[in-house]
A and B are shown apart, each in its own frame.
Chain A
C-alpha cells in the first residue's frame, strides 16, 4: 500500500479559490481514502495556506461530493513568541514575584488593588495566546486586557483599559449578553462590535462571569475577528 504525505496528496488536488476558502478538489483515484487522510493529517499546513491567502477555510472536496471537509484557517500556527509558562499561585498568600510577573504582563489600572482572586483571573489572561479582556459588570468598564488583546484592539493599552464598553455594540447586544450571562455563567457568542472608534468587526468570543472580592466581571476570550463595515445606526 502506497504511503502518501500531505505534499504528495497536494500534487493530486486541483486548487481553486472562493471568497472564503482555499478549495482543493480531488479526482477519482484508487487511493482516494489514503490521499484524503494524508491531506487531513496535514491540517495545520493547509490551515496556514488558507490563512496566507486570507481565506477562512481550506475546503477539500471529494469527487461527486457536495459537502466539503473544512479546515479552519484559525488552525494555522502563529509566529508569536512562546507563551509564558503557567505560574502557580501559592494557596495561602500572594507570592511577590508571581504578583510582579503577572501584573507586569497584563495591562490594567495605574494603581490596581490586586487580591488573590483577581490574580488568578489575570494569570489566566497571561497564560493564553488568545486576546482576553476583563470588564467590570456594574459599570461596563474594561479594566484589564492581555498583550494579544492590546495588539488586536489597535488601541493604546492605557486608553483601552479606561474604556466604558457600552458604545461598541449593535443595539440590544450588550443587554443580551448580560441576560445570557445571568442565566448560564458562560457561553460562546458570534456578534459584531467595535474594535475601537473606527474599526468594526465580526467577532466570536467566550463570555464568562468571574468574581473577585465580591465584584463581578465578565471575562471575554476572543476566538475570531474579521473586520467588516461599520453598521449605520438610525438616529433616535
Chain B
C-alpha cells in the first residue's frame, strides 16, 4: 500500500503553515497524524487496540501466538514479554514498551510494586 495520503485540509492551511514554521507541510502533516494517532490509541485499552488492529495480523507481525493475541484482545493481561513484542510494532505511533506498560497498569489496576519510575522523579 502506498505510504502517501491525499488529504483535504479543509481551509486549515492558514493554521498549519505557521505551526510548521517553514518545514514541509507533508512532513509536518505526517507528524500531526502520528501525534493524533498516539492520542487516540492512548485513550483505548490494550485489548481494544489489539482488537482494532486485528489479532491475526498483529500475531504474525509481533511473533505472539494467535491464541494469546486473541486472548489479549478479549481482555487478558499481556505479559512483559508480550508488551515488548507489541511495542515493536506500535512504537510507530508512539506506543513504546514504557507507554504500553503504563497503559497496562491503568487497564488492569496493576500493583505498582513490580515496576517503578526512574529516580529523580517529580511532578507538578
Contacts and interface: CB of A to CB of B under 8 A. Distances in A.
Interface residues of B, number: 29
A133 interface: yes
Contact of B123 (A37, A73, A129, A193): A193
A182 B99 CA distance: 23
A105 interface: no
A136 B124 CA distance: 11
Contacts of A41: 81
Secondary structure of the A contact surface, majority rule: mixed
B96 interface: yes
A153 B102 contact: no
Contact of A222 (B97, B98, B113, B117): B117
Interface residues on A, range: 35 or more
B121 interface: yes
A153 B80 contact: no
Contacts of A199: 120
Given A67-B88, A223-B102, A152 B120 contact: yes
Contacts of A129: 112-113, 116
Interface in A66-87: 67-78, 80, 82-83
B9 to A, nearest CB: 23
A76 B96 contact: no
Nearest to B115: A75
Interface string A189-219: 0000111100101010110000000000000
A226 B96 CA distance: 17
A34 interface: no
B91 interface: yes
B123 A221 contact: yes
A99 interface: no
B62 to A, nearest CB: 10
A149 B113 contact: no
B91 to A, nearest CB: 7
